[in-house]
Structures are given as structure tokens and as C-alpha cells.
């Protein structure tokens, strides 16, 4: 199921967004906008004709990632998908749906048993790991460090050498990690560590992200974050996509994803149930079928409200 003709949703003003906005100087060039309607990508169907020529001789300048008839053991079976330049894709589905396997396959970190995965018009098998690491980044669900490193030391391994600031201002505004740069990684809370890992993953390809040429795969980046930083991260992802970057992230927050993505992919048991615009994918029929619980869905002020209206009975 594919979808079309949907206007991106606008999240109503809230105390959360007001707190975030207070930390962002709108006069700066690197401005995160926390209103999804204002973050609509102008690159929906047409690539920026003034953008630098792609060094990889992309056959289809609109398509950054594509997947055709891919199977990975019994975990994944997808006939065809693609992500365009500047597209913000959120992937939802229950535990074990194949979301992480899909990200790992698209990122070239596991090989498909069958089918073809393409990145920038080039088969994934033709990319070296060293070259891949310079154009795409991957945030895993869990990261462990056995070294006694401070946050500053850890991030310095990934920060571009030519940058004056260890953490670019736009990342600091969204992730707020400068307050614990001198802390040892093992002394951080779960949410603080997650913000550091998100920062680390984006620093890895920051020159590409600044040029709007990066590709990022974020596996459940919202886990462990408080609600303010969840929405700050969602706004950061939209901001980076509006620059031309392509970002795919998995999520268990259906409402947030539906309102902050350009494209929503719904998975179940290793297969793609639906993909396209939020209001076509996040329907009551689809969600109740996949998640096996009852949902109430309504639209207010261009904001798609999605709630579980009847919990699962344990009797």
C-alpha cells in the first residue's frame, strides 16, 4: 500500500515547544523549527537544481536508498522500498516486526540473503566499509563502552578535525550534552547516554550533513529521552532533512512519528504492511490490525492525535 496527497501535520503549540524555542535563536542560520508544518521539505519530488553534483553519478537523483525483493533469513521480506533525498522516514511496528533488521540491511551492516540494496545508485556490495562510514551513519539501540572515557574524549574521536567547536551549535541546542562533557560515560543516566550516542552518530558524518548529503539510520533514538528531548530530537531530524539529508528512524511513539515524518512505514512480522503519508498509513484499521489493541484517531489543527483507547484486558 502506497499513499499520496497528504499535507504534513502541524503540532499545536505546547509548553514543550515553547521551552525548546527559548533555547533557539531564530536569527541564526542553524535554526531548528519545532513546528512540523514549517519543517515541510521542499524537496518532496524534485531535487534542488542548485545542489552540488553527486560524486557517485546517481542514476536517479531523487532516490538515495532503494531495496528490491530483499529477504534476510526469516526476519525480513520486503518487495520494494525507496527513500528520496531530503526525506524523513519513521518506521513503526511492534517488537520483532523487523524494523532493526531493515535498518541494518539498508545501512549495509548485514547482508541480504536475496535481493538488491542500493545506496546513491550503487549496489551496497560495491561499497567499502570505510567509504560507507563517511557517507552514512548508524545509531544502534544499545551501545556499550568498556573504556574509562569522558564524554568529551569519546566525542572527539568522531568530531571533524577542522571544526572549531566539538559540538556544532545546532546539535547542542537539541541534545544539550555540553553540561556533562567532563563526566565519565559510565556515570551518565540512560537518557544522557542516549543523547551522547545520538550526538556521536551525527558527528561521524557531520561534514556531509552540513552539505545536505548525509544518510542517517537511527534505531529507536527516542528511547530513554524525556519528553522535551524527544520532541527536540524529532525537530532536529526534520531540520537536517530539510537541508537535503535523508534520515530513517524507528520509533514506538506512533503519534510523534505520524506528525514529524515525511513518510511513515508500518511493519509487522518482517513485512511492510503500509508505507506512505501518515494519514493513509496510521489508520485505525492498520494500527489495530498490527498492534492488536484499540485506537482512537482524530485530527485537530493539522495535528494527528493517536491514542490507545482500550487497554488489553489481562483477565
158: in domain: yes
Tell me the angle at which helices 227-242 and 190-204 cross, rounded to the nearest 10 degrees: 10
Q: What angle do CA 174, 178, 184 make, to 5 degrees?
A: 120
127: in domain: yes
d(CA 86, CA 193): 28
User: What's the CATH code of the domain at 205?
Assistant: 3.40.50.300
What's the whole-number mean pLDDT along residues 162-183? 92
Domain extent, residue 229, equals: 16-25+58-310
Above 50 in pLDDT, residue 314?
Answer: yes
Question: With 0-12 CB in 10 A as exposed, 13-18 as middle and 19+ as buried, what is 222?
Answer: buried
214: in domain: yes
**pLDDT attached to residue 160:** 83
30: in domain: no
What sign does the CA torsion over 113, 82, 86, 34 have? Answer: negative
Above 80 in pLDDT, residue 184?
Answer: yes
| pLDDT, tens only, 293-313 | 999 999 888 899 999 987 777
Going through 5-62 in order, the beta strands assigned E by DSSP cover: none
Q: How far is CA 296 from CA 250, 284, 299, 304, 307, in A?
A: 22, 7, 10, 11, 5
164: confidence class by pLDDT, cuts 50, 70, 90: confident
**pLDDT attached to residue 111:** 94
d(CA 170, CA 138): 19
| pLDDT, tens only, 66-102 | 999 999 999 999 999 999 999 999 999 999 999 999 9
φ, ψ dihedrals at 252, nearest 5°: -110, 0
DSSP codes joined into one string, 142-206: -----S--BHHHHHHTTS-TT-SSSS-HHHHHHH--GGGTTSBGGGS-HHHHHHHHHHHHHHHTH
**pLDDT attached to residue 35:** 45
Above 50 in pLDDT, residue 4?
Answer: no
40: in domain: no
**Exposure of 165 in the CB half-sphere (CA atoms within 13 A):** 10
Above 80 in pLDDT, residue 38?
Answer: no
144: confidence class by pLDDT, cuts 50, 70, 90: confident
Residue 180: closest CA among 135, 138, 149: 149
Residue 89 near residue 134 (C-beta atoms within 8 A): no
8: in domain: no
48: in domain: no
Provide the pairing of β-strand 215-218 with 246-250: parallel
Q: What angle do CA 15, 17, 18 make, to 5 degrees?
A: 60
57: confidence class by pLDDT, cuts 50, 70, 90: very low
DSSP codes joined into one string, 226-294: -HHHHHHHHHHHHHHHHTT-EEEEE-S-HHHHHHH-SEEEEEETTEEEEEESHHHHS-HHHHHHHH-SE
- Number of separate domains in the chain: 1
CB atoms within 10 A of CB 82: 16
More confident residue, 12 or 221: 221
66: in domain: yes
| pLDDT, tens only, 228-273 | 999 999 999 999 999 999 999 999 999 999 999 999 999 999 999 9
Share of the chain above pLDDT 70, in %: 79
pTM, two decimals, is 0.82
Amino acid at each position: 500500500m502506497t499513499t499520496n496527497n497528504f499535507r504534513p501535520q502541524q503540532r499545536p503549540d505546547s509548553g514543550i515547544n515553547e521551552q525548546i524555542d527559548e533555547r533557539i535563536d531564530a536569527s541564526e542560520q542553524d535554526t531548528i523549527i519545532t513546528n512540523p508544518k514549517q519543517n515541510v521539505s521542499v524537496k518532496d519530488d524534485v531535487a534542488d537544481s542548485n545542489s552540488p553534483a553527486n560524486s557517485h553519478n546517481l542514476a536517479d537523483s531523487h532516490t538515495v536508498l532503494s531495496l528490491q525483493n530483499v529477504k534476510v533469513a526469516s526476519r525480513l521480506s520486503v518487495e520494494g522500498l525507496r527513500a528520496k533525498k531530503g526525506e524523513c522516514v519513521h518506521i513503526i511496528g511492534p517488537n520483532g516486526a523487523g524494523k532493526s533488521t531493515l535498518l541494518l540491511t539498508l545501512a549495509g551492516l548485514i547482508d541480504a540473503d536475496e535481493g538488491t540494496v542500493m545506496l546513491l545508485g550503487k549496489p551496497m556490495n560495491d561499497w567499502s566499509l570505510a567509504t560507507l562510514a563517511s557517507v552514512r551513519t548508524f545509531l544502534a539501540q544499545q551501545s556499550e563502552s568498556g573504556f574509562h572515557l569522558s564524554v568529551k574524549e569519546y566525542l572527539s574521536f568522531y568530531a571533524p578535525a577542522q571544526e572549531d567547536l566539538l559540538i556544532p551549535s545546532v546539535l547542542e541546542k537539541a541534545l544539550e550534552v555540553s553540561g556533562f562533557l567532563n563526566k565519565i560515560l559510565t556515570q551518565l543516566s540512560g537518557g544522557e547516554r542516549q543523547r551522547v550516542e545520538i550526538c556521536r552518530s551525527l558527528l561521524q558524518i557531520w561534514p556531509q550533513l552540513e552539505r545536505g548529503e548525509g544518510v542517517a539510520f537511527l534505531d529507536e533514538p527516542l528511547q530513554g529521552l524525556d519528553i522535551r528531548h524527544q520532541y527536540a530530537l524529532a525537530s532536529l531530524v526534520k531540520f537536517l532533512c530539510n537541508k537535503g539529508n535523508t534520515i530513517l528512524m524507528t520509533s514506538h511513539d506512533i503519534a510523534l512519528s505520524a506528525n514529524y515524518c515525511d513518510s511513515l512505514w508500518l511493519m509487522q512480522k518482517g513485512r511492510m504492511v503500509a508505507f506512505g503519508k501518515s494519514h493513509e498509513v496510521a489508520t485505525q484499521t492498520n494500527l489495530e490490525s498490527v498492534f492488536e489493541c484499540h485506537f482512537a484517531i482524530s485530527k485537530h489543527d493539522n495535528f494527528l492525535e493517536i491514542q490507545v483507547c482500550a487497554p488489553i484486558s489481562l483477565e
